[in-house]
Amino acid sequence: MTHVTEAAALGGKETSGKEISGKKPRSSRGLMADGRQRSPVSIIVMALLVVIWTLPTVGLLVTSLRSRDAQAQTGWWTALWNGGWTTENYRGVFDKTSIGDSLLNSVLVAIPATIIPIMFAAFAAYAFSFMDFKGKDILFILIVMVMVVPIQVAFQPMLNLLGPNGLGISGQYIGVWLLHTGFGMPLAIYTLRNYMSTLPRTVIESAKIDGATHFQTFWRLIVPMSVPALAAFAILQFLWVWNDLLIAKLFLTTDNSTVIVSLQGLLGAQGQGSEFLPAGAFISMLIPLIVFFTLQRYFVRGLTAGAVKG
Amino acid sequence: MAEVSTDTNARADAVDDGALAPGEPSPPEQPAPPGPDDSGVDPDRANMAKILLGLIGIVGILWGIGNLFLALAYHPEWFADSRVLIGVIALIAGVAGAYFLFFFINMFVEGLPGRVSRALMPYAFILPGLALISVMLIFPTIQTINYSFANADSTKYVGLENYRTIFGSADFREALFNNILWLLIVPAVTVFIGLMVAVLADKLSGNGEKVSKSFVFLPMAISFVGASAIWSLVYAYDPEGEPATGLLNAVWRFFGGAPQSWLQNYDFRLNSILLMVILIWLQVGFAMILLSSAIKGVPEDTLEAARIDGASNFQIFTKVVVPQIKGTLITVFVTTVILVLKVFDIVYVLTDGRDKTQVIANEFFGKLFRDSQAGQASAIVVVLLLAVTPILIYQARTFRREELSR
């Protein structure tokens, strides 16, 4: 039911515009502001797809705002007339589950795990773009290949290496940062190098003639010029780290686990406290969604710059 | 930090970088870079001060950061037991540490005699990144292959025993079968819907396109676990007689069906397919964005030419547009294939492999952590690794070809 009405609403909004523009009644009827033919089929199908794509998330949001009984007894789409609205779940999430605490952990994991790989990768990408050295091609092909390797290969060896019999940093932030840095590195180098190799080489040459070292050229010229690519990768990596379950679950303890791990724990819990799940899920999505919407332009540019994550 | 500029090697580097301008004679008098003390120092001689300082810096940073993190972990009382304070210190130390590591590595290499310095500088730039890749990805790959020939706690080699065990186990074959099913369905459907959305959105008005794409793209920001939470509501089950709370059951009942426990229904692998829907829902946005930008990159005159030749819209699409975006289609397909091979979170969270929904990555997780069978678990990853090997080779070959045609 909702499908139909919302689709009609969206479609209606689209079509209402076409009456306005028009000189010749026949040919202008189906024209848009830029003079292209309006396509009713596209409008209807897209509206339908948008509704299908959005409805599950809307369902989560509405459910998160309903009381335990309402959640269990009626569908969320009946909330308009059945009621049962409450914000109690959001208070409950912070008071009675570990989601609130783990939000901070997620921030503390995600920010360094985003910045550190970028720094490491940017230096490497600079070398691959602007310096000539032996083995350059082989090393880069190695990086391209490693992008595809499943991270599962790393679990047992890394648990041994970082664990109590190794470096003893399993369960701490730094272990997870290093892992995310390592796993994100091939893609980071690849994307940044692809971008940097499009920068004009003459700028770098003239910087050299002016007496700049590579280190200075990097910080003063290449980093500022690469901001779009750096931002794009930063968003990608941030989303990836924030949304990661496996690494956080295996390499952090219950004291400092991330919000996604907490949410997964909540998903497993039946009965008591299950009414907090939708609210918890929504809270866990909030920061990535904000990041995503404010920086969408960069994100899209980064993806189209040839980002393929292994 | 940029004060390093007032350095002789800077000038040496600038004047005759052998790699970039081999035959160029060094200009006799460059305008001296700012700095009082750089006259009279031979650029081809080692600068001991820099070497020493750089070396001390590198060691100091590594030692300092290492100890700081040990202190953070084992003596939280030194930091007032405040997680926020510990976190902020860790954050600053981590980021600043990475910066100064590069700073001192650079200083060390700059201090070396000119020729050596120039030869080593590229390696200094790639070393930290490459070292991390080696430790986090290359070493573990070799080690995992190694473990796959050893027993449950990696203390003794057992030959091919693990492989015999996993291929003999019905669970693993089940997982293998399901993964193949995922591989056959998810990438194709994702590319198809992504292409459809990209084409249709292109026909909308500017704003309509932007808004509709945003909505389809939005799930890209959502975690697998979050998506599982969202879809567990859609698939929720209520017995006959109670009102439906799951959207799918509501629709199903509206058309006269009996309430279904969707994720337990493995007729025609329905439950696996419903799990696939979640991944498709997450991934279509990615496909759409790439394909959309590829379609917009198709030169208008090729479309115009086809139109003049009297091609229909469908012919234009299949014969003109598709061949020109083939590269992007393959990229999207391959990316989704890689994702599907490793699919884990959704299955782990929603069914944990029950009711014939097992997949390789979840089977691996169970073997490693529930059954403590490191050997078999490693063998499973090696199978996964073999499955991605063709893609790996393909990536390398495509890259080579692209570089050659540059």
Q: At what angle do helices A136-146 and B114-133 cross, to 10 degrees?
A: 10
* Residue B368 lies in domain: 163-404
Q: Which of B7, B106, B126 to mutate to test the interface with A (most CBs of A within 10 A)?
A: B126
Q: Virtual CA dihedral for A146, A304, B345, A310, nearest 10 degrees?
A: -10
Beta carbons of A284 and B226 less than 8 Å apart: yes
Beta carbons of A189 and B129 less than 8 Å apart: yes
**What is the number of CB-based contacts under 8 A between chain A and chain B?**
370
Please name the amino acid found at residue A9: A
Of the two residues B79 and B140, the one the predictor is more confident about is B140
**Is residue A104 less than 8 Å (CB to CB) from chain B?**
yes
- For residue A243, pLDDT over 90 is answered with yes
330-359 in B: which are within 8 Å (CB) of A? 331, 334-335, 338, 341-342, 344-345, 348-350
Query: Among the listed ranges A75-84, A130-139, A296-305, B284-293, which one has the minimum average pLDDT value?
Result: A296-305
185-244 in A: which are within 8 Å (CB) of B? 185-186, 188-189, 205, 208-216, 219-220, 239, 242-244
Over residues B89-112, the mean pLDDT reads: 87
Based on the domain organization, do B173 and B138 belong to the same domain? no
Cα separation, A106 vs A15, in Å, equals 44
Q: Quick one: A7 exposed, middle or buried, by C-beta within 10 A (0-12, 13-18, 19+)?
A: buried
Cα separation, B358 vs B354, in Å, equals 7
A187 φ/ψ angles, rounded to the nearest 5 degrees: -65, -40
Q: Tell me: the pLDDT tens digits for A186-220?
A: 989 998 998 888 888 888 888 888 888 888 899 98
Which pLDDT belongs to residue B3?
A: 37
8 A C-beta contact, residue B138 and residue A146: yes
The total number of structural domains in chain B stands at: 2
Rounded to the nearest integer, the mean pLDDT of chain B is 85
Which pLDDT belongs to residue B85?
A: 83
Report the percent of chain B where pLDDT is more than 90: 55
For residue A288, list chain B residues with Cβ-Cβ distance below 8 A. 221-223
Beta carbons of B230 and A281 less than 8 Å apart: yes
Q: Where are the domains of chain A?
A: 2-86, 95-304
Over residues B238-262, the mean pLDDT reads: 91
**Is residue A25 less than 8 Å (CB to CB) from chain B?**
no
- For residue B91, pLDDT over 80 is answered with no
A310 pLDDT tier (thresholds 50, 70, 90): very low
For residue B331, list chain A residues with Cβ-Cβ distance below 8 A. 306, 308
Q: What radius of gyration, in Å, describes the C-alpha atoms of chain B?
A: 29
Over residues B22-34, the mean pLDDT reads: 43
At which of B95, B119, B147 does a domain end? B147
Based on the domain organization, do B133 and B215 belong to the same domain? no
Based on the domain organization, do B139 and B167 belong to the same domain? no
Nearest beta carbon to residue B133 from set A50, A77, A182? A182
Residue B175, in any domain of the structure: yes
Beta carbons of B10 and A211 less than 8 Å apart: yes
> Residue B223's closest chain A neighbor by CA?
A243
**Is residue B52 less than 8 Å (CB to CB) from chain A?**
no
DSSP per-residue codes, chain A: -HHHHHHHHHHHHHHHGGGTS-SSHHHHTTB-TTSPBP-HHHHHHHHHHHHHHHHHHHHHHHHHTB-HHHHHHS-GGGHHHH--B-SHHHHHHHHHSSHHHHHHHHHHHHHHHHHHHHHHHHHHHHHHHH---TTHHHHHHHHHHHTTS-GGGGHHHHHHHHSTTTTS-TBSHHHHHHHHHHHHHHHHHHHHHHHHTTS-HHHHHHHHHTT--HHHIIIIIIHHHTHHHHHHHHHHHHHHHHH--HHHHHHB-TTS--HHHHHHHHHH--STTGGGHHHHHHHHHHHHHHHHHHSHHHHHHHHHTT----
Residue B192, in any domain of the structure: yes
Query: Among the listed ranges A41-55, A68-82, A274-288, B25-39, which one has the minimum average pLDDT value?
Result: B25-39
Residue B342, in any domain of the structure: yes
Query: Which CATH number covers residue B214?
Result: 1.10.3720.10
Q: Tell me: the pLDDT tens digits for B115-165?
A: 888 888 999 999 989 999 999 999 999 999 999 999 988 888 999 999 999
Report the percent of chain A where pLDDT is more than 90: 34
Based on the domain organization, do B141 and B222 belong to the same domain? no
Based on the domain organization, do B324 and B180 belong to the same domain? yes
189-248 in B: which are within 8 Å (CB) of A? 193, 196-197, 200-201, 203-206, 208, 211-212, 214-226, 228-234, 242-247
A119 pLDDT tier (thresholds 50, 70, 90): confident
Residue B152, in any domain of the structure: no
Tokens for A275, please give them: 């009414």
Beta carbons of A243 and B133 less than 8 Å apart: no
Which pLDDT belongs to residue B378?
A: 94
Beta carbons of A278 and B233 less than 8 Å apart: yes
Based on the domain organization, do B192 and B341 belong to the same domain? yes
Based on the domain organization, do B142 and B189 belong to the same domain? no
For residue A197, CA distances in Å to A132, A187, A204, B50, B125 come to 13, 15, 12, 31, 16
> Residue B73's closest chain A neighbor by CA?
A172
Which pLDDT belongs to residue B308?
A: 92
CATH of A95-304, one of 1.10.3720.10, 1.10.240.10, 3.40.50.150, 3.40.640.10: 1.10.3720.10
Of the two residues A12 and B112, the one the predictor is more confident about is B112
| Closest by CA position to A277, among listed A257, A263, A258, A260 | A263
Which pLDDT belongs to residue A128?
A: 93
Based on the domain organization, do B185 and B304 belong to the same domain? yes
Of the two residues B400 and B17, the one the predictor is more confident about is B400
Which pLDDT belongs to residue B198?
A: 93
> Residue B338's closest chain A neighbor by CA?
A310
Nearest beta carbon to residue B224 from set A147, A150, A245? A245
B7 pLDDT tier (thresholds 50, 70, 90): very low
Based on the domain organization, do B139 and B278 belong to the same domain? no
At which of B112, B147, B182 does a domain end? B147
Q: Tell me: the pLDDT tens digits for A92-109?
A: 999 888 888 899 889 888
Which pLDDT belongs to residue B42?
A: 56
Based on the domain organization, do B195 and B331 belong to the same domain? yes
Which pLDDT belongs to residue A30?
A: 67
Which pLDDT belongs to residue A302?
A: 65
Q: Which of A31, A185, A215, A251 to mutate to test the interface with B (most CBs of B within 10 A)?
A: A215
- For residue B19, pLDDT over 90 is answered with no
Which pLDDT belongs to residue B98?
A: 83
Which pLDDT belongs to residue B13?
A: 40
At which of B147, B178, B200 does a domain end? B147
Q: Tell me: the pLDDT tens digits for B356-397?
A: 999 999 999 999 999 999 999 999 999 999 999 998 898 888
Q: Which of A53, A63, A93, A183 to mutate to test the interface with B (most CBs of B within 10 A)?
A: A53
Over residues A34-56, the mean pLDDT reads: 89
Rounded to the nearest integer, the mean pLDDT of chain A is 82
Query: Among the listed ranges A20-29, A249-258, B395-404, which one has the minimum average pLDDT value?
Result: A20-29
